[in-house]
Amino acid sequence: MCSVMKRLLKLLACGIILCAGEIQAQQDPMYSQYMFNMLSINPAYTGSRDMLSFTALYRKQWAGIEGAPTTFTFTADTPIRNQKMALGINLVNDKIGIAKNTVLNLSYAYRIRFVNEGILSFGLQAGADQYSADYSSVNTSQKGGVYDQAFAGSASAIFPNFGFGVYYHTQRFYIGLASPKMIKNKLRGENAPTLDFTSYPNRQNRHLFMNVGYDFELNQEITLKPSLMIKQVVGAPLAIDVNVNAYWKKLVGAGISYRTGDAILVMLEFQAQPELHIGYAYDMTLSKLSGTNAGSHEVLLRYDPFAKKHLKASRSRMNYNKKPVNKKNKKSYRPGGNRKNIKRSKRRIG
């Protein structure tokens, strides 16, 4: 009886994976540290750090559950043409049970800079998803060596796709809206002749992401960064992430987040070097899976090879508007000239 139950559970898990499109749940990978990995959800974010940047993220979801999602993401982006445009690449390797999904996207952003130093970006991305499922890896054997022939093969397919996004940010504020995938591709039966996809179509669903955040400088040492992300998938409940991160001297950070109906998150960050940022997040599950797993773990590394040069240039821009100094008497010039001229001009005005 125990072996039969195990077999039924494995078949049920396989069916859930294959019919993900019918269930209409979120298909794209989930990220806890999305605020440091936004190129994965919004192509308009490309080049927003104003320098060449590399980000790698590894996520182990629902630790302790066999076949639970594991995700690896790598992104690289850089501005070009005097910061007016930007190019980027996004690589994702996502595995859930017997199913694997490898995604490669190239992104482009056109950036408009405003007088208040705000930047509005319009982004496009194009790429392809490679889906594969190894049904033969499912153990369906019973006593006597009987195997289920329906799980003797495998399925694979490559789907092109494209997405768009818009992103506006200043030194303290940001807001973005994006739909990374616009084509609702279907995995048809000819890709897996042993299974019937006519009755249970497996398709990609459109995802919509909206995120907003603001930096509050409480004093010279403490910065508070609340942020919000809203995720919408057709046919699935609206998901909201509410986050608050606090930083000390912009070197060490800690945060807490709540994902509606799913988990409470804690985050730790460390700016090891101007070029190297390290982040860790732990998700404590609140859903019905809370008693079956040990939570989710996520590690992020970001490397900015020209961070020191960029920081020096930013400081130079900050000092640009300071008043010039007279080298002879070390006094600042005034619009009306010297003190006598100012008095005379006042008398003329009065």
Please give the DSSP secondary-structure letter assigned to residue 61: -
**Domain count of the fold of the chain:** 1
Q: Tokens for 30?
A: 């989930």
In the predicted structure, residue 224 carries a pLDDT above the cut 60: yes
Q: For position 237, which CATH number holds?
A: 2.40.160.40
Report yes or no on 338 lying in a domain: no
Q: Residues 87-106, buried b or exposed e (16+ Cβ, 10 A)?
A: bbbbbbbbbbbbbebbbebe
- The whole-model pTM stands at 0.78
Task: Using alpha carbons, select from 101, 99, 98, 100 the residue that is nearest to residue 138.
Answer: 98
CB 34 within 8 A of CB 242: no
Report yes or no on 302 lying in a domain: yes
Give, in order, the Cα–Cα distances in Å from 48 to each of 43, 72, 161, 186, 241.
10, 22, 23, 34, 22
Q: Which domain holds residue 6?
A: 2-138+152-316
- Amino acid occupying residue 250: K
| Per-residue pLDDT reduced to its tens digit, 21-78 | 333 345 678 899 999 989 999 999 999 999 999 999 999 999 988 888 999 999 999 9
Report yes or no on 349 lying in a domain: no
Report yes or no on 74 lying in a domain: yes
CB 218 within 8 A of CB 245: no
Give, in order, the Cα–Cα distances in Å from 163 to each of 167, 266, 334.
14, 30, 53
| Per-residue pLDDT reduced to its tens digit, 164-180 | 999 999 999 999 999 99
Q: Rounded distance, CA 115 to CA 319, Å? A: 17
Task: Using alpha carbons, select from 15, 34, 31 the residue that is nearest to residue 23.
Answer: 15
